[in-house]
Amino acid sequence: MRALDAIGHALAVAGSMTWQITWSLILGFTLSAVVQAVIRRQTIVRLLGDDRPRTLARATGLGAASSSCSYAAVALARALFRRGASFTAAMTFEIASTNLVIELGIIMALLLSWQFTLAEFAGGPIMIVLVAVAFRLFVRRKLIDAARQQADRGLAGSMEGHAAMDMSIQSQGSFWRRLLSREGYTSVSHIFVMEWAAVLRDVVLGLLIAGAVGAWVPDTFWQHLFLTGHPLAAKLWGPLIGPVISVLSFVCSIGNVPLAAVLWNGGISFGGVVAFIFADLIIIPILVIYRKYYGTRMMLTILGIFYAAMVLAGYAVEFAFGALGLIPAERTARVAEAGITWNYTTILNIVFLLLAAALLVRFFRSGGRAMLTMMGGSPDGHH
């Protein structure tokens, strides 16, 4: 009976968080789909041919307008690299597409606070600059050439078919004319549903893990782990341990935000939360994919450089936001509520669930079902 009660408590916490974030996820994916619908894939490839600051700035912007699925972002980065993008630009695109996307910012503001969203969008560019500098200083051309040779073998990772699909609007005209056309409606619906299909596993897994951790792990465990009794040590330790927890959780994309909320309530530092969110690109399954894509040496290089950049970006955010008085004084992340009530969350959920239903109907009426079967297809497929 105790086991059933514990499972029920964990599911209740997960269900509460799901209800809180439903409308924000739909809004974020809709806005992301609109942006992706009007940006053609060949445009991205053409703009990322070197690692100059201007090119990396473009890669950051294009990545922020792209898929939030970590697996799809990693696969797309390799596709860009194989088609002529520089390795640094491809990695920049990958970082931005998982850490600077609209839906991530919305859900962080909702579950944590707006300060965390601001920290994510401030820390992301810091991490990108650090990664770019590290690749320039420590990664030799011989290693990049070896990585390109390995990438050209076309070994399959995950979400290859999804990364290969270009569902943008192909017709000409102004932004609004293209977006409001029938083709625009179809394109947005296809991207919206495919993005959901790509991240649903991680979102559900993240909510279940967060529910279990929030319900079963006592606060005293987190307080000891995060050194909450020693303020300066906690600030220094948080960005170091945050990515390690993320790596071991196996959760990526926006699915790690609910767990970040649990960790924040448990006592991890502000910078530790940000570093934890960044680390979705070095979880163990993705490291295995890096090894397939670029070889063992480059995988270890990516792991070392990404981890160091995440830690340093976490420190930068911790001390800069602390100096500006922007770190929340209370640890009141929205992990669980009493139940569903008639409030703004319920109203917004109804409105956006109706929007999701309209896009879902359009998706299936316009031949989208076949696309779902190709999400994990060949990395060399053109869909």
Question: Following DSSP, what letter does each residue of 239-293 receive, concatenated?
Answer: HHHHHHHHHHHT--GGGGHHHHHHHHHHT--HHHHHHHHHGGGGSHHHHHHHHHH
Percent of the chain with pLDDT over 90: 40
Residue of 334, 27, 113, 116 lying closest to 211 (CA atoms): 334
Nearest to 203 by CA among 247, 254, 264: 254
When pLDDT is cut at 50, 70 and 90, the band that residue 377 belongs to is low
- Residue 302 pLDDT greater than 70, yes or no: yes
Query: In the predicted model, is pLDDT for residue 382 greater than 50?
Result: no
The answer to whether residue 101 scores a pLDDT higher than 50 is yes
What is the pLDDT, as a whole number, of residue 312? Answer: 98
What does DSSP assign to residue 69? -
Kindly report, residue by residue over 46-70, the tens digit of the pLDDT. Answer: 788 888 999 999 999 988 887 667 8
Look at residue 373 in the predicted model and tell me its pLDDT.
Answer: 76
Q: Are the C-beta atoms of 27 and 106 separated by less than 8 Å?
A: yes
> Each residue of 195-235: pLDDT tens digit?
888 778 788 888 888 888 877 888 889 889 999 989 999 99
At residue 310, what is the residue type? M
The pLDDT value given to residue 267: 93
- The alpha carbon of 255 is separated from its chain's Cα centroid by a whole number of angstroms, namely 8
For residue 340, the 8-state DSSP code is -
- Residue 164 scores a pLDDT above 80: no
The whole-number average pLDDT for the span 369-381 is: 67
- Assess contact for 377 and 383: CB atoms under 8 A: yes
pTM for the full model?
0.84
